[in-house]
Amino acid sequence: MKLIKLDAIDSTNDFLKGLSQKEKLENYTVVTAKSQTKGKGQMGSNWDSEHNKNLTISILIKKTIININEIFNLNILVAVSVIQVLNDLKISNLNIKWPNDIMAENKKIAGILIENSIKENGKIESIVGIGLNVNQTNFDNLPKASSLKNVKHQDFDIDTLQESVVLKIEGNIEKLKNNEIDSFWNEYGNYLFKKGKPTLFEDTYQQRFMGIINRVTRNGQLEILLEDDSMKCFEVKEIMMIY
Ligand code: BTN
């Protein structure tokens, strides 16, 4: 595994993407940074992180997703891998908020941004970006954010976490190649935040409605049981959970 450790960069995802366009990188090339000046979150949001307090990492993954229809499998695998690392650290009350926010005690402690591209030869390459809040304790204006230190009241070594996360993802990708994807889906379903509980949602027209999360479909949609007893599937951009 090739590891590139940076002090500061705009975004580790963008840096790794740019590098992979310029040169042939080995599978599992990893980029970390102590600071990101333009950290990217899901759906065009920012990812802010205090200098040298958290894990900000991007991993290049090749030869894993063969079929474009199975692209959500990598989200499942990465989210479950982060959960497994946190479980090993005895972090309790863990959940995955669809599609792939990692929650501890009902607050977000990690976010995942996977950017996929199809190469000229038709192969799919993914940049897996993970932001894990580790030793930062102050989240001004972000009441729903937390960190490992906030939940465990101790400091964690960021390099050790980086190694654990990469090794876990690598190991799980090997399992994926042995057709073990169903076990990752089961684990994802077991950790799904608010599954089976009446929950408030808001759609793109700011209309609020109650529903009960049933499952995440294989193409990554959230299936919700509505008040009129119908079942409806939503894309990420279509709804927001109010919690
Ligand atoms: C989210 O919105 O939940 C996704 C956050 C992803 C943040 C990580 S930090 C490392 C990598 N580089 C980025 O610019 N973003 C991801």
Tens of pLDDT, residues 129-182: 999 999 999 999 899 999 999 999 999 999 999 999 999 999 999 998 888 899
Tens of pLDDT, residues 82-115: 999 999 999 999 999 999 999 999 999 999 999 9
Ligand 1: residue whose CA is nearest its atom 15: 40
Quick one: pLDDT at residue 48? 95
CA 6 – ligand 1 centroid, Å: 16
Instruction: Report the predicted TM-score, pTM, of the whole model to 2 decimal places.
Output: 0.97
CA 58 – ligand 1 centroid, Å: 8
Q: Give the range among 9-18, 169-178, 221-230 with minimum mean pLDDT.
A: 169-178
CA 114 – ligand 1 centroid, Å: 8
58 close to ligand 1 (CB < 6 Angstrom)? yes
**Counting every residue, how long is the chain?**
243
Alpha carbon distances (Å) from 128 to 78, 138, 238: 8, 26, 23
Tens of pLDDT, residues 15-69: 999 999 999 999 999 999 999 999 999 999 999 999 999 999 999 999 888 888 8
CA 218 – ligand 1 centroid, Å: 23
Distance CA 59, CA 227 (A): 41
Ligand 1: residue whose CA is nearest its atom 10: 56
Distance CA 130, CA 32 (A): 10
Distance CA 94, CA 86 (A): 8
**Which atom belonging to ligand 1 lies closest to the Cα atom of 43?**
2
